[in-house]
Amino acid sequence: MEQARLIAGLTRMLRDVGRAEELAQDALVAALAEWPKSGVPDKPGAWLMAAAKRRAIDGLRRDKVLARKEAEIGRAIDDAHAATAAAIEAAVDDDLDDDLGDELLGLIFTACHPVLAPEARAALTLRLIGGLTTDEIARAFLVSEAAIAQRIVRAKATLRASGLTYEVPHGAERAPRLGSVLEVIYLIFNEGYAATAGDELIRADLCAEAQRLGRILAGVAPDEPEVFGLLALMEIQASRFKARVGPDGASIPLPEQNRALWDRLMIGRGLAALARAEHLGGADGPYALQAALAACHARAGSAADTDWHAIATLYDRLRIAMPSPVVDLNRAVAHSMAFGPEAGLALIAALEDEGALARYAPLPAAKGDCLARAGRHAEARRAFEVAAGLSRNASEKAFLLRRARMSGGDSA
């Protein structure tokens, strides 16, 4: 998240997210050239910020605009030799403080401007502030990388053409942006919870950052039920991290997890946040419903104690509040557990016909699980092999191939 914080600080200074992104990239390139020779500084983030600000001064001088800001930045840089990194930041940013109390959260609100379509807000913010790649964002929205790249390009162009200043919204100005901000935090957490690609199943840094932002937002918006619903969801889901991956790095499915490893303190915080969301009248909000689903698992002493009928009912409500092929897939899994694997297979077949999840590994994985529980082992094996072929996460792929071997039958 270091690049995201760098972009956040520069955007608040320059009021230009495109220029901030360019300066952040320049600073990272400079670090790649300098640090192998001089060593990594004690405070790499402060070094990167100082390097970016020097380049900002050069740009301001060339353009002969923003004279006041040039003087402010220049004074901060001139003091760098005698001041600590924290003093530099204070000198530059004192006049930019906002009541959110967090630079990164402030920039998320700033970038989620109503002038952009909701999907464009989320894509742009996830790319610049969340630090997600276009591939990861495309997976979250179930569209192609090219489509996401175009959304981001168009969003930047729209912001430039609008002549907007990058000011953190206050009070009532935040309301139209809150839904997009929650979506961004939610998608950052999801990418950390189940990484799109790479060797690790979990990217704990992304999850921790999303949880941190959620906690700050709960303090800023104490009467917004969906803020607490999202916070509850993240806290409860994150409580399972130690149990989700085995010593060999392989994924461990929920029914097989050692629940003694679940973080009970985090579960307690999540349940308290869920109770707050429900008290505020938000029990049927999309995030609160997902948190309620997670709470069903958290409250079950063992996998056998899980109330799958309650979970199936919650998914019936969630698909109304949050229509999505992914929600429908999870609902199919819940119905298979509550009413038998054939019930789940019927719902999965309908999703296959629709085609929206054609390249989504969890779809054939869920089908394989239903087939295995229905005793159709050869078909289950083939489904797990298809799922493994679609996955680009090493841990997930290994898990799916192990499930395929355990299913028996002939390989496809």
Read off the pLDDT of residues 96-124 as tens digits, 9 standing for 90 and up: 345 566 777 887 887 888 888 888 888 88
Higher pLDDT, 150 or 26: 150
What's the pLDDT tens digit per position in 169-198? 777 888 889 999 999 999 999 989 988 877
Residue 165: other Cβ atoms inside 10 A: 8
How far is the C-alpha of 202 from the C-alpha of 210, rounded, in Å? 13
pLDDT of residue 412: 46
pLDDT of residue 268: 96
- Helix intervals (H) in 94-245: 103-111, 118-128, 134-141, 145-162, 175-193, 204-220, 225-238, 241-244
- Please enumerate in sequence order all residues whose Cβ is within 8 A of that of 214, keeping only pairs 6 or more positions apart, or say none: 185, 189, 227, 230, 231, 234
Higher pLDDT, 267 or 117: 267
Pairing of strands 392-393, 197-198: parallel
Answer yes or no: is pLDDT of 79 > 60.
no
| Contact call for residues 365 and 400 (beta carbons, < 8 A) | yes
Has this prediction a pTM greater than 0.85? no
Least confident of 43-47, 233-237, 250-254, 355-359: 43-47
How far is the C-alpha of 165 from the C-alpha of 167, rounded, in Å? 6
Q: List domains and CATH numbers for the chain.
A: 2-97 (no CATH), 307-412 (1.25.40.10)
Span 21-41, mean pLDDT?
76
Q: How confident is residue 239, by pLDDT bands cut at 50, 70 and 90?
A: very high
Q: Is 245 helix (H, G, I), strand (E, B) or coil?
A: strand
Span 341-353, mean pLDDT?
97
How far is the C-alpha of 348 from the C-alpha of 342, rounded, in Å? 10
Q: Mean pLDDT score of the chain, rounded to an integer?
A: 84
Answer yes or no: is pLDDT of 84 > 70.
no
How far is the C-alpha of 270 from the C-alpha of 239, rounded, in Å? 9
Q: Could you tell me which residues are beta bridge partners of residue 198?
A: 393
Answer yes or no: is pLDDT of 94 > 70.
no
Answer yes or no: is pLDDT of 91 > 50.
no
Span 157-162, mean pLDDT?
81
Burial of 2 (0-12, 13-18, 19+ CB in 10 A): middle
Residue 233, CA distances (Å) to 207, 298, 304, 333 in order: 12, 11, 22, 19
Span 225-250, mean pLDDT?
94
Answer yes or no: is pLDDT of 342 > 90.
yes
Residue 253: other Cβ atoms inside 10 A: 12
Answer yes or no: is pLDDT of 405 > 50.
yes
Q: How confident is residue 25, by pLDDT bands cut at 50, 70 and 90?
A: confident
pLDDT of residue 96: 39
Answer yes or no: is pLDDT of 289 > 80.
yes
Q: Phi, psi at residue 198, to the nearest 5°?
A: 105, -175
What percent of the chain has a predicted confidence (pLDDT) above 70? Answer: 83
How far is the C-alpha of 338 from the C-alpha of 335, rounded, in Å? 5
Higher pLDDT, 256 or 91: 256
| Contact call for residues 8 and 103 (beta carbons, < 8 A) | yes
Residue 27, CA distances (Å) to 21, 48, 51, 55, 290 in order: 10, 6, 6, 8, 40
pLDDT of residue 21: 74
Q: How confident is residue 65, by pLDDT bands cut at 50, 70 and 90?
A: very low
- Helix intervals (H) in 79-117: 85-93, 103-111
Q: How far apart are the first and last CA of the chain?
A: 42
pLDDT of residue 107: 77
